[in-house]
Amino acid sequence: MGRKYFGTDGVRGRVGNSPITPDFVMRLGYAAGKVLVAREHHASERPAVLIGKDTRLSGYMLEASLEAGFSAAGVDVCLVGPLPTPAIAYLTRAQRLQAGIVISASHNPYYDNGIKFFSAQGTKLPDAVEAEIEAGIDAPIACVPPAELGRARRISDARGRYIEFCKSTFPNDLDLRGLKIVVDCAHGAAYQVAPDVFHELGAEVVRIGVQPNGLNINDGVGATEPQALRDAVLAQRADLGIALDGDGDRVQMIDAHGNLFDGDQLLYAIVVGRQKQCKVAGVVGTLMSNLALEHALAKLEVPFARAAVGDRYVVEMLTEKGWLYGGENSGHILCLDRHTTGDGIIAALQVLAVMRTHQRTLGDLLSGLKLYPQKLINVPIVKGFPWQNDAGILDAQRAAEACLAGRGRVLLRASGTEPLLRVMVEGEDENVVVGCAEELAAVVRNARSSSSE
C-alpha cells in the first residue's frame, strides 16, 4: 500500500524539511487525535494520549507542535519527557490511554527526527489506521470550542514505573550479583533508565553514552556503533556489555572477550532458554534474518517464518500465528510474553536470565548458531528511483544468485526510514559474499547515476 508520509516506523525525516516541520507535526497531531479518539474513546471519559521523546534537541519543538495539534482536537496530553520507545508503549497501556506517541528517529543522527504511534493496547498502529490519519493531515484544522480544548500535564513518576516494569520481566529467584556490566545508552532515551534497571537487579554497572547534549545521540556509541562498548568492556574487564540505540528498542551485546552478538543471536539464546521450559511454537524473523538462524532453529524443531522488515510486521505475523518470539538482526527483539513491543532492556534481561539459569556464558549458549557471512551495503538513492524495474540491476541480482549456487541469499530492499537501497548478500563463503555484494552495489550506483542524468 502506498503511503505519502508514513514509513515502516512512523513519519521520519530531516528536521526542518518536510514533513518534520512544526506546521506538519501540529496537523499530524490534530489528525491523529481525531482518528484515534474516534476509534478508542469512550463517551464517559476525556480522551488522552501520552507523548514521550528521545534526547534530540528538536524534540522540544516537535513536542510543543504535537501538543498543540492534540489540544485543538480536544485531546488531553500526558508528557513524560525522554523515555525509551517501549516505555511509552507500556505506560500507554498501563494508564488506559487512547494512544502513545514517541518523538524519535531511533538510530538516525540528531538532525533527523520522527513521530511514531502506539495504540491503546501498546502495539504499533496497523497500516489501515496510519492511512486514515494520513487522509486527514492535509485538511484544515477545525479547532474544537475553547471549553473543549485538550489539557496538558506531566507524569512525574513515569521513569520509576518503567524501571519497575522492566525488572518484573526478570525471574524473581534470580539476580545479577557478581556481574560487571557496561551499559551503553547511545546518549539517548534510555540514559536515565537502563543503568538503574541492571544495577537494581544486583549488577555492578559501568555507564557510557549517558551524557546527552541534544546533538550527540548515536554519535560513535550505542547499538549502531558498538566499538565504544567493546573498548569499554575490555578496558573495564567486564563480564558483559549491553548497547542500546537512541530510543532504546534495539540491543546488541558483547561478551568479556569482545565478541559482538546481534539480534539474530540474542533471539536464538532466548529461544534456547524458553525451549528448555516449554515447547516454543515458532519464531518470526524478517527478510534480513541470517539464514543460519533458520537452520539452527530447525535443528531445535522450532518453526521459522519471515516477515517484512520492521518490528511492526514481525508483531503482526506473531499475532497472526499465535507465536511469542521474533525479531530482527538489527536488535529489535520481541518477547510477547513480556511486552507488547520490541524492548532492548527487556530483551537483554531475557538473555541474562538464560545465562544465570543455566550458568553459561553467552558464547556457550550460542555454540549451536554459527552465522553465515553477510554483507550489507547501503546505496543512497532518490525517492522514486525505479530499481525494481531496472534490467541491469535485475541481471546483476540473478548473476549474484547464480554465483551463490543455492548456498545463500540475495536481497534488495528500499529502506523505510532513509533514502537508501539496502543491498544484502549472505552465504557460506565470505569472499564470494563480499564480492557479489560489492558488484551488485556498483551496478545499483551506476543505474542510479544514469537515471538522474
CA atoms within 13 A on the CB side of 91: 30
Residues 224, 216: contact at Cβ < 8 Å? no
Are 222 and 207 within 8 A, CB to CB? Answer: no
- The C-alpha atoms of residue 198 and residue 270 are separated, in whole angstroms, by 18
d(CA 264, CA 394): 28
User: Do residues 424 and 374 make contact, with C-beta atoms less than 8 angstroms apart?
Assistant: yes
User: How many angstroms separate the CA atoms of 340 and 330, rounded?
Assistant: 18
- Tell me if residue 71 is catalytic: no
Q: Which residues are registered as beta bridge partners of 49?
A: 77, 99
Q: Nearest to residue 421, comparing CAs of 447, 450, 392?
A: 447
Catalytic residue, chosen from 65, 104, 106, 289, is 106
Side chain identity at residue 155, one-letter code? I
Cell 546518549 sits at which residue?
A: 187
Q: Could you give the CA distance from residue 393 to residue 382 in angstroms, rounded to a whole number?
A: 16
Amino acid symbol at 300: L
- Residue 44 corresponds to which amino acid? S
Cell of 426: 549472505
Instruction: Report how far residue 187's alpha carbon sits from residue 222's, in angstroms, rounded to the nearest whole number.
Output: 8
Sign, CA dihedral 5-423-287-255, equals negative
Q: Which of 228, 243, 268 is nearest to 363 (CA)?
A: 268
Set of cell numbers at residue 49: 494520549
Q: What amino acid positions are annotated as catalytic residues? A: 106
